[in-house]
A = this chain, B = another copy of it.
Amino acid sequence: MPRFHNLISIQDLTREDIDLILARASEMEEVSVRRSNILKDKIMACLFFEPSTRTRLSFESAMFRLGGNVLGFADVAVSSAGGKGETLADTIKTVERYADVIVIRHPLDGSARVASEFSAIPVINAGSGSEEHPTQALLDLYSIKKMKGKIDGISISLCGDLKYGRTVHSLAMALLHYNVSIRLAAPPQLRMKPAIIEKMLSSGVDVTTVDSVEEGVKDVDVIYMTRIQKERFPDVREYDAVRGKFRLRLEDVSLMKKDAIILHPLPRVDELDPAIDSTPQAKYFDQVAAGVVTRMAILDLILN
Contact = CB atoms under 8 A, between A and B. Distances in A.
Interface of A: 34-35, 40-41, 43, 45, 48, 51-54, 57-58, 60-61, 64-65, 69-75, 77-87, 89-91, 93-95, 97-99, 227, 230-231, 266-269, 274, 277, 285, 288-289, 291-292
B64 A51 contact: no
Given A43-B64, A64-B43, A72 B57 contact: yes
B53 A79 contact: yes
Given A86-B53, A267-B80, A269-B85, A292 B97 contact: yes
A72, A98, A230, A268: which has the most chain B beta carbons within 10 Å? A98
A195 to B, nearest CB: 27
Contact of A53 (B57, B60, B91): B91
Nearest to A85: B269
B274 A53 contact: no
A160 to B, nearest CB: 14
A67 to B, nearest CB: 9
A71 B60 contact: yes
A48 B74 CA distance: 14
Contacts of A268: 86, 90
Given A34-B41, A51-B79, 15 more contacts: A35-B40, A51-B78, A53-B80, A53-B86, A53-B95, A57-B72, A70-B71, A75-B75, A84-B230, A86-B267, A90-B274, A94-B285, A97-B291, A98-B288, A98-B292
